[in-house]
Chains A and B, each alone.
Chain A
Amino acid sequence: MFIDPHAHMISRTTDDYEAMAKAGVVAVIEPAFWIGQARTNVGSYRDYLSHILGFERFRAGQFGVRHYCCIGLNSKEANNEELAEAVMDILPGFATKEGVVAIGEIGYDEQTALEDKYFRLQLDLARDLDLPVMIHTPHRDKKRGASRSMDVILEHKLDPSRVVIDHVNEETIQEVKDRGFWAAFSIYPHSKMTAERMAALVKTYGAERLIADSACDWGVSDPLSVPKTAKLMADSGISAEDVRLVTYANALAVYGKSGQMAEADWLSPEPIDQRTLYQGNTVLRGGQTPRMPQSGSGNE
């Protein structure tokens, strides 16, 4: 069993879901993020959040994959102050919904003043609602950005054991671990982090508080990154227990602190969920054919 704790499934196909379920992915976490193009008003943001908490969760359930969300205002759109203000008003209502496991992904992009303002406000929100946090670290000026994110989080009195720093690499891992945060690695086919480098990091730093994710979205990315990384780590001699921690148990441990995600959700789902939201994992049920949405149930 695997968990992909960072996957923008809203931009993926049913083939991806089918492949993920077949490879043993039992749960995914969909962080609220930029959709590749800026939203121009709060209405489209509201509909996006409803979409990932609604239709996307339903779609995942049809393929036997449990779907959770992180709710937040991303750093790029924090630079549109009018939008950001309006989004901040609707966030508390969404963050308290079922299946929301964290505030995220939030943090810095260009590290502007507005990004800083809304990052801080959302850290306050996470603390008020007692939710874990998923941090997006910037692609540019990464090391300084990651360092600064951690400073601000600690300044806001958040417990680092409830915060995941994502998109970590060889340059940032030491500080993330030393300061008590969880370190997540987005395993991309071409950039960010590869499975080979991930395996080397697990050998060097141990599996404790390390998490692999695919961060798959609308760009070149691989929704099977987590199971593939697990295989590569196992083949390179990393123990089964460490593989399990990095590709399943660590993500469950930290995001489970929300009270909204538990192993029982996929191993023994509530009857009401089974009837309405979740068709059960085909791998767990012994390789039956995935239940496909019927032709016509889309655009009839």
Chain B
Amino acid sequence: MTAFPSQTIEAEKAMQLLNAWLAPRLTSDAAAWLASQLAIIASGEKPMQLAIAVGLAPRKVGKTDLDLTTDEAEAGRTVREGLDATGWSVDQAARILLALASHRGDDEQFVVSLDRVLAAAEIGEQIALLRGLPLYPAPQRILHRAAEGVRSAMQPIFEAVAHRNPYPREQFSEAQWNQMVVKALFIESRLCPIQGLDARRNPDLARMLIDYAAERRAAGRAISPELWRCVAPFAGEAEVATLGDILRAGTDAERKGAALALNDCPVPSARAALATAPELAETVQSGRVFWDNIA
């Protein structure tokens, strides 16, 4: 597996957190509905109830943004390192909570119920349940769900796994990780919301990206400046030369990306290339331009 520490979380703790997030955002009717569904699911008496409750959740609890306060978000990271609920909605949090209620102290049975609900999930349900990946117990045993999400042709489903989610960096093999990063570029999604992007850079990924960049340049197509972030530590003279070209003739965002990459590149010639754009070098070295704000 990977050298990255895997977080495990107890279903109980995750449920407490979600309940605390949801409580101030639900009407008394919605809260009563949710509590009743959680009780039925936890009892295990009606196997179909999870799918039905997950389906009904938006119309029962509403679809407004979860919009956590700074303190609430911080509480989330304390319970689960790397947890990022940016962009979540109230119904998504409720759907994750419902899924957790089916755990009932048994990892194996949780995997079965998650498989069953995802097998017939519509697009909004899939997005919600995949955003919950970091909150599920037994993370290794749901790897197939994350892998399936990344394989999706639906960009928001891909992003539910790839973006603002600590799960991939902790659980994906290098091959899975590399496929996810390359695919993000391929479908013109963003790299910066991927957690652990710098920490999981590797030579094989850099090689794939260098090939991909060459193919795009040959076809006269634009290359996301974010690509170079994963290439920089492994760049050779040829890549430094390419980055130098971009620094001279690229768009604003492309030039910033090239400058950041050259600044991060161990090849001695990279320094000289960066020095050809002194004002850009200065913004990069002073930290005013960084990977999250280039575009």
Contact = CB atoms under 8 A, between A and B. Distances in A.
Interface of A: 46, 49-50, 53-55, 57-58, 90, 92-94, 96-99, 259-260, 270-273, 275-277, 294, 296-298, 300
A4 to B, nearest CB: 20
Contacts of A275: 87, 156
Contact of A49 (B48, B51, B120, B125): B120
Contacts of A93: 48, 51-52, 55, 120
Chain B interface mostly helix, strand, loop or mixed? helix
B196 interface: no
A272 B63 CA distance: 7
Interface in B43-86: 48, 51-52, 55-56, 58-59, 63-65
A98 to B, nearest CB: 5
Interface in B118-146: 119-127
B281 to A, nearest CB: 33
A207 to B, nearest CB: 31
B154 interface: yes
A135 B59 CA distance: 26
Contacts of A53: 122-123
A224 to B, nearest CB: 26
Contacts of B183: 300
Contact of B188 (A46, A92, A294): A294
Given A55-B154, A294-B187, A276 B55 contact: no
B153 interface: yes
Given A49-B120, A50-B122, A296-B187, A58 B156 contact: yes
B89 interface: yes
A46 B123 contact: no
B55 to A, nearest CB: 4
26 contacts: A46-B120, A49-B120, A50-B119, A53-B122, A54-B122, A54-B126, A55-B153, A58-B156, A93-B55, A98-B59, A98-B122, A259-B59, A271-B65, A272-B63, A272-B87, A273-B63, A275-B87, A275-B156, A276-B123, A276-B156, A277-B124, A277-B156, A294-B186, A294-B187, A296-B186, A296-B187
B58 A98 contact: yes
B156 A297 contact: no
A297 B52 contact: no
Nearest to A299: B153
A96 B65 contact: no
Nearest to B54: A97
A49 B55 CA distance: 14
B203 to A, nearest CB: 23
